[in-house]
Amino acid sequence: MATTRTRTTRPSPALPHLDEIIHQRVRLGIVSALAAGGPMAFNDLKAVLGLTDGNLSVHARKLEEAGYVACRKFFEQKTPRTEYELTAAGRRALEQYLDQMEAVIHAAREG
């Protein structure tokens, strides 16, 4: 008679569920900065994170497309300004990501 044996000695870490939109290092930097510091101007965000115009634009666009970041364009003393802000969905996604990453850290340190 066949019996089924299940291995139960080793914990099953499985592949972590991590939001790939937020997991990417530059985008994680952007959402973290916006979460901690509120709305930020394009140039401030660029300076703080040490990014090029192109790099920030590309990743901010990806975050906008995901609905995690809102972009506001306006004139300040005739100078065009661009400002980014975390949306409610972005904040929820970040919180969920941080929870998942904490679980990963906890699991990895269990050994």
The 3-state DSSP composition of the chain as helix, strand, coil percent (nearest 5) reads 55, 15, 30
User: Which stretches of the chain bind a copy of itself, using CB under 8 A?
Assistant: 10-16, 18, 20, 23, 25-26, 28-29, 31-33, 35-38, 40, 44, 48-51, 94, 98, 101-102, 104-105, 107-111
| Torsion 59-64-70-74 (CA) sign | positive
Closest to a copy of itself by CB, 1 or 20: 20
Least distance (Å) between residue 86 CB and a copy of itself: 9
Euclidean distance between CA atoms 86 and 82, whole angstroms: 14
Cβ proximity to a copy of itself: between 1 and 14 the closer is: 14
Shortest spacing between CB 64 and a copy of itself, in angstroms:
19
Beta bridge partners of 50: none
